[in-house]
Amino acid sequence: MALADDKFMGLALEEGRQAYAKGEVPIGCVIVKDGEVIGRGHNLRETEKNPVAHAEVLAIQDAANRIGGWRLAGATLYVTVEPCPMCAGAIVLARIPRVVFAVMDPKGGAAGTCFNILESPWTNHRVSVISGVREGEARELMQSFFQRLRRK
C-alpha cells in the first residue's frame, strides 16, 4: 500500500466519522489530484432527504465545482466502502481513473464484489481499483454504527 493511499484514506475515514456523528451511514470520500484534496463528501441521505446524497456523488460534485469542470482525469477517489452501482456510474462518467476503497460491500458493491462497473469492458472509461486500504478501521466504523442503530 502506498503511503499516500493510507494518508488519504485517513481523510475519507474522517469524512465517514462526520456522517456517523450526524446519524448517517458512516461512509466518507475524498478526491485527490496532484497530492491535493479537490473534493470531499460523506453520506447525507437522511439529513438531506435525498436518495442520491452518497459520499462519492457529493465528493464528485465538490471536486467538479472546485476545478470548474466535470472531467476529473488524473484524480484518485478514496472511499471507505466499495461504491454502489450509482456511485460507480458517476465515477465512470466523471472519468476518474483510480479508486481506492477500504471495505467491500457484499450486498451491492460495484467495484468487483457484486458488480464490476468500474472495470467493465462495456463502458467508455476503465477505472483502476485498489481495495483493502485501512479496511479494519472502516469495518469497525460501520459495525459500530449498525450496532448502535440496533440498540436503539
What are the sequence ranges of the domains in the chain?
1-151
Global pTM?
A: 0.96
pLDDT of the residue at 10: 98
pLDDT digits (tens, 9 = 90+) for 81-139: 999 999 999 999 999 999 999 999 999 999 999 999 999 999 989 999 999 999 999 99
The rounded mean pLDDT for the chain is 96
Question: 1-151: CATH homologous superfamily?
Answer: Cytidine Deaminase, domain 2 (3.40.140.10)
What is the distance between the alpha carbons of residues 78 and 119, in angstroms, rounded to a whole number? 16
User: Binding site: residue ranges?
Assistant: 54, 84, 87
List active site positions.
Answer: 56
| Residue scoring higher pLDDT (65 or 1) | 65
The share of the chain scoring above pLDDT 70, in percent, equals 99
Q: How far, in Å, are 45, 54, 55, 56, 143 from residue 16 at the CA level?
A: 13, 11, 8, 11, 13
pLDDT value of residue 1: 55
Q: What percent of the chain clears pLDDT 90, i.e. is strictly above it?
A: 93
**Residue 31 reports pLDDT greater than 80:** yes
Q: Which of 25, 53, 58 is nearest to 41 (CA)?
A: 58
Residue 149's pLDDT is what?
A: 85
Taking residues 35-56, what's their average pLDDT?
Answer: 98
For the stretch 10-22, pLDDT in tens is 999 999 999 999 9
Helices (H) then strands (E): counts for the chain: 5, 5
Q: Which residues are annotated as a binding site for Zn(2+)?
A: 54, 84, 87
